[in-house]
Amino acid sequence: MTRKTMVPALLLTAALLIAASIAWGADSSKSSFLSGVHKKNNVTCADCHGKSLAVDDSETALNKNCRGCHGGFEELAAKTKEHINPHKSHLGDTNCTACHKGHVASKAYCNYCHSFAMKIPAMGTEQESSDKKWVQESAPGKKELKSTRVESADVVVIGAGGSGYVASITAHDAGAKVILLEKMPITGGNSMLAAGGINAARTRYQERLGMHDDPAEMVKETMKGGRDKNDPELVKVLAYKSADAVDFLVSLGADMTDLVRSGGVAVDRTHRPVGGAAVGPHLIKVYRDNAAKRNIDVRVNSEVVQILSDGKGRVTGVQVKGKHSGVYTINAKAVIDTAGGFAANNELVGFYKPQFKETASSNQPGATGEGMFLAEKIGAKLIDMEQIQIHPTMGGDTKVLVSETVRGSGAILVNHAGKRFVNELTTRDKASAAILAQPEKSAFLVLGEGIRKSNVQIDGYIALGLVQEADSVAGLAAKMGVPADVLTATVVAYNKAFEAKKDPEFQRQDIPRPVDGPKYYAIWVKPGRHHTMGGVKINTEAQVIGKDGKPIAGFYAAGEVTGGVHGWNRLGGNAITDTVVFGRIAGSNAASFIKNEK
Ligand code: MEZ
């Protein structure tokens, strides 16, 4: 038997063994799972896998077959009677196989971030820990992997979060053949979880509401928020291209009409969908639809294990480990690294900031930082790696981020004595420090009916069981375990500040709504890891800068994988701006680099 015929023969044998174990009802973990609903309906291997039994890394045909039998997300969501409806979540319409498995027990992807004991078919109830260390294929000491095939593209983009999608769409529209790679089973990255909005100065939406804003102010506030450690040139690009970024999103079909204020900012600059809906799921749906419309080659379960260069400093492609297809090479004329940050990587966070190691992370489980080290391995400079942002308000002991926009909509922060203790709209580093300075290292967000109605995300927190409610402030105080007279006095004083448009106690600039009835609400909150400000050094053209201070030819980066834009503390709402502004620059420059090289 030659090597050429050996591989198909082995595959065929494996397929026959699987088929046989199903037919004979053998008591292996594979067959016992398949003996469930699939056995009952006489499902064959070919029903799921197709005649060839081959599975591509994105599991496309397999998922089509899942839907063929079980129905699509909408159908399944309509049938769900449980309180939490996994088929109707912020993850959007993803692969069925992200949660459901064919040959091993299914597992809910949601449980990486949430703690739901969800029942899904053939799933054990045990919780998967999201803190398990991501095995980095390119870690030092790991043996070099051998590619079994070679493909080619004009531009390869690493990481299908917000920056990755924006860079891919932009490069595609500039004429490049793009492959977008995502190591996780679903696309979206941390952008998918973004609750707040996109900061942009002097937009048509601000002007429509008669609001005056100025990119120069955005520069000043971003620098101040970043403790002046940001790269001022990058910040200028961020601010002066921010209104264009919003127009770009609208041109793709996004809704950015609602405005709210974020911490450390003196105007309503954070743009989001109408009703205060979370920005991330909305944008990722828009991006997914736009990528599909353009036929962009998006591959999940595809981990980049190496960025390739010609030895003379020019990037030439990537090596990928596909979940099913194995290791292969993509030769590319340009590579864009949009692989995100590492706030979900306990080991790495502990390495750079030992005191943050045990804090909960708001991030998706794939935010483990490999994109930074893949870049460093081919000479990129990493900066500000120890700058890790702690977001003030994660829901109690959960991994659910309670959006800053809840405070922006008017909620107050109250300690366990029932008193306000900080300007709720100060920067995140200061608000987190103020909460951690409380003896309990936690606090409550307190809000009324008007605030709840202005921000649809609060209904989500109610559905998740994070919110206590009562018909009076005293009733709420009893549920929170704080003195009723003190909390009542706190709310009365705050409502007076709302009337007077002046907050003598904490100089909060913007009080859009009072804390009023008929219902009052409280959410117990604790600070948690949210954003890693450091990463790959880039210049204003989104070119990756090497340790020698020079751009690495053919190599671009955007979003949380980069450092310098946010300095030592990011302002809420500036991350999405970063992904769109620098994603566009990276996509467009990668495409013109290729054209100019021809
Ligand atoms: O930009 C963010 O991280 C943000 C606005 C988060 C949030 O609190 O909603």
Q: 154, 176 in Cβ contact below 8 A?
A: yes
Please compute the mean of the pLDDT values over residues 505-512 and round it to a whole number: 95
Give Cα 370 to chain centroid, integer Å: 15
Mean pLDDT of 231-241: 98
**Residue 417: CA atoms inside 13 Å, Cβ hemisphere, count?**
6
Q: Which of 583, 504, 81 is nearest to 338 (CA)?
A: 583
Q: For 174-183, 326-335, 406-415, 589-598, which range has the lowest pLDDT when averaged over its residues?
A: 589-598
Q: Over the chain, what is the mean pLDDT?
A: 89
- Region 496-509: what's the mean pLDDT? 96
pLDDT of residue 318: 98
- Of the given ranges (4-8, 264-268, 505-509, 559-563), which has the lowest mean pLDDT? 4-8
pLDDT band (50, 70, 90) for residue 119: low
With cut-offs at 50, 70 and 90, classify the pLDDT of residue 122.
low
The token pair that represents 449 in the structure block: 């009916």
Question: SS3 for 570?
Answer: coil
To test the ligand 1 pocket, which listed residue (242, 261, 262, 363) has its Cβ within 8 A of the most ligand atoms? 262
Long-range contacts of 456-463 (CB under 8 A, 24+ apart): 456/275, 456/276, 456/277, 457/195, 457/276, 457/277, 457/278, 457/403, 457/405, 457/406, 458/406, 458/521, 460/278, 461/395, 461/400, 461/402, 461/523, 462/521, 463/83, 463/84
Alpha carbon of 503 to ligand 1 centroid (Å): 24
Told to judge if 428 belongs to the known catalytic residues of this protein, a careful annotator would answer yes
Q: What is the DSSP string of 462-489?
A: HHTT-EEEESSHHHHHHHHTS-HHHHHH
Confidence tier at 121 by pLDDT (50, 70, 90): low
Pocket of ligand 1 (CB under 6 A): 195-196, 262, 401, 403-405, 572-573, 575
Give the whole-angstrom CA distance, residue 444 versus residue 473.
Answer: 13
Q: What is the pLDDT of residue 89?
A: 87
pLDDT bin (cut points 50, 70, 90) of residue 118 is low
What tokens were used for 214?
A: 């100025």
Which atom of ligand 1 lies at the shortest distance from residue 393's CA? 8
Q: How far apart are CA 164 and CA 186, in angstroms?
A: 13
Read off the pLDDT of each residue in 413-421 and give the average, rounded to a whole number.
Answer: 98
And the tokens for 48?
């799921």
For range 499-505, the mean pLDDT: 97
Weakest mean pLDDT among 60-69, 167-176, 381-390: 60-69
For residue 552, the one-letter residue type is I
* pLDDT at residue 4, rounded to an integer: 45
Dist. CA 219 → ligand 1 center (Å): 18
Q: Answer yes or no: are the C-beta atoms of 111 and 89 closer than 8 Å.
A: no
Nearest-CA residue for ligand 1 atom 3 is 572
User: Ligand 1 centre and the CA of 197: distance in Å?
Assistant: 7
CA of 573 to the centre of ligand 1 (A): 6
pLDDT in the model for residue 123: 52
Q: Residue 433's CB: how many other CB atoms inside 10 A?
A: 15
- pLDDT recorded at residue 276: 86
| Residues 405 and 539: beta-carbon distance below 8 Å | no
Task: Give the position of tokens 């990276």.
Answer: 586
Say how far apart CA 530 and CA 574 lie, in whole Å.
13
**Residue recorded with tokens 């955005």:** 218
Greater confidence (2 vs 500) lies with 500
Residue 364 burial (CB < 10 Å; 0-12/13-18/19+)? buried
Least confident of 23-37, 183-197, 424-438, 576-590: 23-37
Cα separation, 510 vs 262, in Å, equals: 10
Nearest to 151 by CA among 309, 320, 313, 310: 320
CA–CA distance, 141 with 520 (Å, rounded to integer):
56
574 Cα nearest atom in ligand 1? 1
Query: What string of H, E and C letters represents the secondary structure of 517-550?
Result: CCCEEEEEEEEEEEEECCEEEECCCCEEEECCCC
Run of H or E including 377: helix 370-377
pLDDT digits (tens, 9 = 90+) for 104-114: 777 788 877 77
488: buried, middle or exposed (CB in 10 Å: 19+, 13-18, 0-12)? middle
For residue 340, which of 524, 195, 145, 167 has the smallest C-alpha distance? Answer: 167
Which pLDDT score, from 0 to 100, does residue 322 have? 97
Model confidence pLDDT, tens digit, residues 142-197: 668 899 999 999 999 999 999 999 999 999 999 999 999 999 999 999 999 999 99
Asked if 147 and 329 touch (Cβ cutoff 8 Å), the reply is: yes
Cα–Cα nearest to 556, from 564, 570, 546: 546
Share of the chain above pLDDT 90, in %: 74
Question: How many Å lie between the centroid of ligand 1 and the Cα of residue 593?
Answer: 34
Residue 22 scores a pLDDT above 90? no
Confidence of residue 582 (pLDDT cuts 50, 70, 90): very high
CA 530 to ligand 1: nearest atom: 3
How many Å lie between the centroid of ligand 1 and the Cα of residue 245? 18
Q: Which amino acid is at 47?
A: D
Give the pLDDT of residue 114: 77
Residue located nearest, by CA, to atom 6 of ligand 1: 196
Nearest to 538 by CA among 518, 521, 555, 517: 555
- Name the catalytic one among 299, 428, 508, 570: 428
Given this model, what pLDDT does residue 109 score? 82
**Res 501 pLDDT > 70:** yes
- Which of 400, 404, 531 has most ligand 1 atoms within 8 Å of its beta carbon, as the pocket-test mutant? 404
Tokens standing for residue 277 = 């809906």
Atom of ligand 1 nearest to the CA of 405: 9
pLDDT bracket for residue 14 (50, 70, 90): very low
